[in-house]
Amino acid sequence: MTNLTHKAQEIFSHDLYATESTGVKIDEAREGYARCSLSLTPLHRNAMGAVMGGVMFTLADLSFAIAANSYCLADNQPLQWVSLNSSIHYLGQTQGNTLVAETICVKQGGSTCVYTISIHDENDKPIAFVTTTGNKLNKVKSKN
């Protein structure tokens, strides 16, 4: 396990909704890349038995946050990147018990970034595809 993966696991363990409530695990973090996974339980399914869209969105959103902030983690800087806009395309239902999100940097600019997130199951069946644009927060010092 890389040092960057360890840092991501430590820092993003404080994202309690994604990690505790939803159960997302951080598998790997590199600069501009993240892979997260989720073992599905009945709590993740809707009344029709399919995985809730919000579950997949949470998996994608945490994976994006890790990849976009990976450069900050590598430089021991505070987290600076947040989602500005996301578009998710649900491609199919999983028959499996695990979802994996892989996030890849398309562009990391000075104030905005673009990442793609592919979600598949343990059989490599595509389940969802997400494009997220991020915004870099500017830390403004108080005049007081």
In angstroms, the Cα distances linking 130 to 7, 53, 135, 140 are 24, 12, 16, 31
- Residue of 18, 110, 122, 105 whose CA lies nearest to 67: 105
Its pTM stands at 0.93
pLDDT given for residue 138 in this prediction: 77
pLDDT given for residue 142 in this prediction: 47
Q: Which tens digit of pLDDT belongs to each residue from 108-139?
A: 999 999 999 999 999 999 999 999 999 999 75
For the chain, what is the mean pLDDT?
94
State whether the Cα torsion 122-40-68-53 is positive or negative: positive
pLDDT given for residue 143 in this prediction: 53
Full set of structural domains in the chain with CATH: 3-136 (3.10.129.10)
Question: Which residue ranges in the chain fall short of pLDDT 70?
Answer: 139-144
> CB within 8 A of 95, min separation 6: which ones?
121, 123, 125
